[in-house]
Structure 1
Amino acid sequence: MSRRLPTGITVLDRRLGGGIPAGSIVLLEAPPASQSELFLYEFTATRGTLYLSTVRSEAAVADAFDRVNTRVGNPTIRDIGSDAPLDHANRLVGALPEEANLIVDVVDVLEQSDSARYRSFLNELQTQIVNTGGIAVLHAMKGRSIPANRDVTEHMADVVFDLQTDVKGQEIVNRLAVPKFRGSAAMDETIKLKLAEQVAVDTSRDIA
């Protein structure tokens, strides 16, 4: 069995048998209006992290880390969302150290690239992550406009986290599904989560 690397999120690590296999690409799909960034922030507490932002500036991401009230690391933050984001990402991915995290927030901007170039990027990313024994997390939005290359991202990902956020009356309900876990059994049920100051299990019962 592949060596597992913890995510920093206790509930996930417990459900996933200790974490995510080293060398994996993880796709985190979430609604734009959700608190999905909490997953990314907690990932950084586990090991050295390169955080590539395609939408927010380096200053905005750093400020978010300063304000969040949960355990976080000290990631290297780079804004690659201006000119030629795919080229910037390629250069930075090629210099990843051993057993590091790579976070791309959000991957939608890269998915808007030419299909052949984007597919080449994913293959190079996979090779680098396997060779360094780290984990890559691609944060993708389930919004009104989904890039055409999203299917390619889902296919290439070794693990898919699908966050569903629903407003039911006065309650916001977050559920995490893991429909894909290459090389192991996927979870057969969702986890109800609280996404407030950190990622935690919601133990309240659903009322039909």
Structure 2
Amino acid sequence: METLPTGISVLDREFGGGLPSGSVVALKADPASQSELIINRLSRVRKCRYLTTVRSPDAVEAGLTLDGGTAAADAAEETVVRSVDGDDPFEDALSVAADLPERGTLVIDSVEPFEAKERDRYRTLLNDVRQHVDEAGGIAVLHAFKGGSIGQNRVVTEQVADVVFDLRTTVTGTEIANRLVVPKFRGGAALEEPLKLKLTDTVSVDTSRDIA
């Protein structure tokens, strides 16, 4: 099984080079967090098919070029961004997944509109996405926001996912701390402890000390 880089050096080091090809990844995060930076990195490292259910394609494309200069702009050209704009969002998602290039990355940002639908149909969608990702030897990333009115199908997302990234953002005094917990990693080793990240205009390790 091939290992595919994530585009985030600290994660690639922790995971022995990246994520196993064919993986479905769920990134859970607060809506007010900087989780888009992680999604952008995952999107830019390879050819990508990006389905946006909330933001406009123009907004997504602008974000993909923010923090990487010429290299980011070149990678963004390899990304095809589509929005859910048809009568059937499931057909939109399957169309994007079927177009996934070899070793490419599929992003669904965010997955809540699909989780809100009937469970059997959502489970079928995820299984079909997995099949397309397996055939392409790529990865799929499901951006899953916490809070609000999370539907009962979030458990389906977490069950189907091979890898679960749980980004936890806390505010204490003047500090904003972002910790990435990886409780699930099929085909690899989950992190034994949270990884403190610095999310500004890029993604790096936060080396500042916690103050009790």
TM-score, normalised via structure 1 length = 0.95
In the alignment, the residues of structure 1 paired with residue 44 and residue 98 of structure 2 have an alpha-carbon distance, to the nearest angstrom, of 22
Q: What SS is found at the alignment partner of 2:156?
A: helix
Superposed counterparts of 1:61-140, under 5 Å: 61-66=60-65, 68-70=66-68, 72=72, 73-74=75-76, 75-80=79-84, 83-140=87-144
Q: Structure 1 unaligned runs (5+)?
A: none
Shift of residue 83, structure 1, vs aligned partner: 3.3
Identity percentage of aligned residues: 50
Aligned counterparts of 1:108 and 1:47: Cα–Cα separation in 2: 25
Partner of 1:160: 164
Query: Residues 82 and 174 of structure 1: is their aligned pair in 2 closer, same or farther, counting only changes over 3 Å?
Result: farther
Cα separation, 2, equivalents of 1:120 and 1:27? 17
**Distance in structure 2 (CA, Å) of the matches to 1:8 and 1:63:** 18
Shift of 1:115: 0.8
Contact preservation (8 Å) 2:40, 2:63: no
- Residue 81 of structure 1, CA deviation: 5.1
Range 124-133 or range 56-65, more displaced: 56-65
State the partner residue of 2:37: 38
Per-residue deviation, 1:82: 5.5
Q: In 2, are the aligned partners of 1:129 and 1:136 still within 8 Å (CA)? A: yes
Letter in 1 for 2:54: V
Residue in 2 that maps onto 1:170: 174
Question: How many angstroms apart in 2 are the aligned matches of 1:107 and 1:83?
Answer: 17
Kindly provide the amino acid, as one letter, of the partner of residue 45 in structure 1.
R
Q: 2:55 is matched by which residue type in structure 1? A: R
- Conserved 8 A contact 1:111-1:150: yes
Paired residues, number: 206
